[in-house]
Amino acid sequence: MIEVYLKIIKSDSLLTKIMAAIDDQHILTWEYDEDGDFTATQPQWNNEAWMHPFKISDKCIQFGIVQRRDVPITSDVYAVYHGRFTEMLLMHFDKYISNIEISSLLVEGVDVFETE
C-alpha cells in the first residue's frame, strides 16, 4: 500500500523546492503550514485536508493525507487532494521525479486521522 509515493531522480530536496515555489508564488494553488503539510488554496478545498510528507530516503518521499478534526474525509476530498497534488508535482517538478504511485484508499500507518 502506497498513498502518494515519489521516486526522485535528483538528490536535491524536493520538499524545499516545492516550498520555495510556493513562497515565490510560482505555485498559487497550494500552501504549507508550520508542520510542512500542504493544503489546497482554492476556497472550496482550502483546509479540507493536508498532504503530510514522510521522507523515506534521499530518493523517496511518501505523502499521507491528514483529515480535518471535525469532519471525516470524503471520497471527493481524497480524490481532489491526490489528483491536484500530483498534477502540481508533474507540472512543476517532473524533471525531479522518476515515478509517482497513488493508492486508491486510505493507508493505515500513513494517513493521519485527527480525533480531537
What are the pLDDT digits (tens) for 13-62?
A: 888 999 999 999 999 999 999 999 999 999 999 999 999 988 777 788 88
- Establish if 116 belongs to a structural domain: no
Residue 96: the pLDDT is 85
pLDDT at 116 over 90: no
CATH of the domain at 90: 3.30.310
Does residue 112 sit within a domain? no
Sign of the Cα torsion 63, 88, 38, 80 reads negative
What pTM value is reported for the model?
0.84
- Residue 68 makes CB contacts below 8 A (sequence gap 6+) with 47, 48, 49, 114
Residue that has been written with the C-alpha cell 497534488 in this structure: 85
- Pair 5, 65: CB distance under 8 Å: no
In a domain, 80, yes or no: yes
Q: What local confidence, expressed as pLDDT, does residue 97 receive? A: 86
Number of compact structural domains in the chain: 1
pLDDT for the residue numbered 36:
92
pLDDT at site 58: 75
CA dist., res. 63 & res. 111, Å (int):
8
Domain hosting 31: range is 4-102
Residue 34 within a domain? yes
Residue 76 lies in a domain: yes
Question: What is the predicted pLDDT for the residue at 10?
Answer: 58
Three cell numbers, residue 62? 511518501
Range of weakest confidence among 21-30, 85-94, 97-106: 97-106
| Interval 11-22: pLDDT, tens | 458 889 999 999
- More confident: 57 or 93: 93
